[in-house]
Amino acid sequence: MMLSKSSERRFEEVARAIDQLLVTTFNDAFEVLEPKLEALERQLLLSVVKTDFERCEVRRRIAETLFTEAFGRNCPWPVFERTLRRIQRLGYSHSERRYHVACLYAQWCRWHPEHDDREARRMLDEAEQRIRRLPRDHWRRKGLLKKLSQLRARTGFQSGPGA
């Protein structure tokens, strides 16, 4: 989707605000970061973004940031699951976002072998299917498939049912 110049500027402002918050909360616990990101989301929705599309994308960016930070801080399942479900409700902007979420979930499952990993395996399979639907000459396709193959080798999460 082509964005207008004003939309591009607003998204740059959103990205800058998220990055600044992450820098200032680098050493904070997830329980401290989460309400700050949610407050930032409210602020951005009220004062920065203008269109329904932009509002949806801001919600997605905040959800993805929360999920990534929950992963990076190795949060327990109840917290990690909450961030995962939020992203799933909002949907994915494109195949690379779906890939990112599936890969982090698979890696989280490897850190927590007591957790049932069937959903993570299914999400990896779905991400791979979406990536394979990209045109063969798409600039993301080859790199994502290679990284996905490497992740599968590292985690043991081979593709297909019952794998």
pLDDT digits (tens, 9 = 90+) for 88-130: 999 998 889 999 999 999 999 999 999 999 999 999 999 999 9
Domain count, the chain: 2
Instruction: List, in order, residues 6 or more apart from 108 with CB less than 8 Å away.
Output: 71, 74, 80, 115, 120
Query: pTM of the prediction?
Result: 0.91
Q: What is the mean pLDDT of residues 21-37?
A: 97
Cα–Cα distance for residue pair 3/50, rounded to 1 Å: 13
Q: Which amino acid is at 95?
A: S
Within-domain flag for 144:
yes
> What is the token pair recorded at 137?
């000459």
49 and 100, same domain (yes or no): no
CB atoms within 10 A of CB 142: 13
Residue 112: domain span: 94-156
Q: Please tell me the distance from the alpha carbon of residue 156 to that of residue 163, in angstroms, as a whole number.
A: 9
